[in-house]
Amino acid sequence: MNIRKMILKKRKKEEPSEFLSTGSTQLNLAIAGKSRGGYPKGKYVLLVGDSESCKTFLSMTCLAEAAKADEFSEYRFVHDDPEDGASMEKARFFGEDVQDRLEPPPRGISVTVEDFYENLDALQAEGMPFIYILDSENALSSRKVLKRFEDNAEAHEKGQKEDESYGTEKAKVHSERLRVARNRLRETGSILIIISQTRDKIGAMAFQETKTRSGGRALRFFADVELWTSVVSQLTKTVKGKKRNVGAIIQIKVKKNRVTGKHRTIEVPFREDYGVDDTLGCINYLIEEGHWKGTEATVKAASEFGFNGGSKDDLIQDIESGNQLGKLRKLVTQVHREVEDALAPDRKKRYV
């Protein structure tokens, strides 16, 4: 066997053959072109978003998907929550299996970025596959920053000059350690999800991005998938003649994608008492792409399901009570592929 064939065989063996569902059919398709999975095994996902744009819910939803998939039955569910913000009822939104399997990192909740990498090292040394959610990177400090804080407090008490240097320690640690940590994920097919909060970019021009994030360039450079979330509108329901908020429409931009190379933007419904609503998201998608006709609250007709028109809630009830979610996802996949085929250049391949 020549060297080129050996390299190709090795690459093929190392590439993940299975994907973890994000919990959203649209997001799975946007990332991987597959309705049943979006996050590849053995890879690292960077999830950046505005406040209250459901970053934690999105990350935890993939654990619920893993809990019902046989290929993830041996995976550990690790939630590193230095932000201490995930106070929702886990069993209610993600199932009792997630609640039972959810565990903190082996060395305790990370306080510093060094703690985070030491937790990853400990897990990887144990050799069991895992899904690790860091929620969030912004809540981490660094050991040098903590030491400087203590030194400044002591200097202040003594009337001495305090150290006012700008801290870039976290970015340096990520730059030094994230590459190794990411590469080791392949050994067990583990998945790492790092959540980061957006910040307003000071002095941005009108044509430039208005938001940024902390943590340095390495977080993006080593990411296999990078997602940015924001709230674009509110979901409402009329009760006793008054419109009331029941959730939001979350926009998700795929800004980096080493799976297919495609950058897509989707909108996912989130309900306060339900979580990520994949069924409604699929219905909205089919209307937006012109496969069905409808309004914000109604569907004119959905012939594939024998639905002659009515509210989206009625159609959801028909689909879910009739165990037709698989059929709905196949329809969304079909329309998605039609769109992608139309986007592709109608030309002979350059290298064939």
pLDDT tens, position by position, 82-136? 999 888 899 999 999 999 999 999 999 999 999 999 999 999 999 999 999 999 9
* Cα–Cα distance measured from residue 255 to residue 258, given in angstroms and rounded to the nearest whole number: 10
- DSSP class per residue in 203-227: T--TTS-SEEESS-THHHHT-SEEE
Indicate the average pLDDT of the chain: 91
> 51 in helix, strand or coil?
coil
Q: What is the CATH number of domain 18-153+168-201+210-276?
A: 3.40.50.300
Q: Tell me what percent of the residues of the chain surpass a pLDDT of 90.
A: 80
Least confident of 147-161, 206-220, 231-245, 329-343: 147-161
Q: Residue with structure tokens 């939104």? A: 93
* pLDDT score for 217: 96
**Is pLDDT of 2 > 70?**
no
Q: How many CA atoms lie within 13 A of 268 on its CB side?
A: 31
Provide φ and ψ at 280, rounded to 5°: -65, -40
User: What pLDDT score does 166 carry?
Assistant: 52
Residue 157 has pLDDT above 50, yes or no: yes
Is the confidence at residue 41, as pLDDT, over 70? yes
* Predicted local confidence at residue 9, as pLDDT: 53
Does residue 266 surpass a pLDDT of 90? yes
CB 328 within 8 A of CB 312: no
pLDDT at 10 over 60: no
**What pLDDT band is residue 276 in, cutting at 50, 70 and 90?**
very high
Is the pLDDT at 274 greater than 80? The verdict is yes
User: Is the per-residue pLDDT at 158 higher than 90?
Assistant: no
How high is the pLDDT of residue 95?
A: 97
Distances (CA, A) of 206 to 60, 210, 214, 255: 35, 8, 21, 20
Instruction: Give the pLDDT confidence score for residue 11 in this predicted structure.
Output: 46
pLDDT at residue 15 tops 50: no
* pLDDT for residue 105: 98
Is the predicted pLDDT of residue 141 greater than 50, yes or no? yes
pLDDT recorded at residue 240: 95
The two structure tokens encoding residue 200: 């307003």
Question: What pLDDT is stored for residue 200 in this prediction?
Answer: 84
Confidence of residue 335 (pLDDT cuts 50, 70, 90): very high
pTM as predicted:
0.90
Identify the CA nearest to 86 among candidates 59, 119, 114.
Answer: 59
Q: Is the pLDDT of residue 149 over 70?
A: no
Residues 6+ apart with CB under 8 A from 53: 229, 230, 231, 248, 250
